Amino acid sequence: MLFFLLSSKAQELVGSENFNKIYNFLHDEHKKQFEDPARTDDIVLSGLETISSNKYACTLINELVLHECVNELNDRSQMS
């Protein structure tokens, strides 16, 4: 339920097309960060300025992506 509310609010702030761009960008960046711990959050978030200037929406979307990444890790650990 919370995922849906945050997603709806973020889409309302930046539009669904930009939401998808930001979401996909952050998801890819966090995967790279997982593989390379030297990639700080500042590096991950720095590329967002080219996609959107709405920092609040980007923060919401980043939280959604991080939540999904944690769920993926939990799923992997349960399967092993």
Domain ranges of the chain: 16-74
Q: For residue 47, what is the DSSP state?
A: G
pLDDT tens readout for residues 23-51: 999 889 888 888 898 988 888 888 888 88
pTM of this structure: 0.79
Q: Where are the alpha helices (DSSP H) in 1-80?
A: 2-14, 16-35, 41-46, 55-79
Q: Average model confidence (pLDDT) for the chain?
A: 85
In this prediction, residue 1 has a pLDDT band, given cuts at 50, 70 and 90, of low
Distance separating alpha carbons of residues 23 and 18, to the nearest angstrom:
8
**Hey, what are 68's tokens?**
């999904």
* Short-list 33, 17, 13, 45, CA closest to 73: 33
The percentage of residues in the chain with a pLDDT greater than 70, rounded to a whole number, is: 99
The pLDDT value recorded for residue 48 is: 83
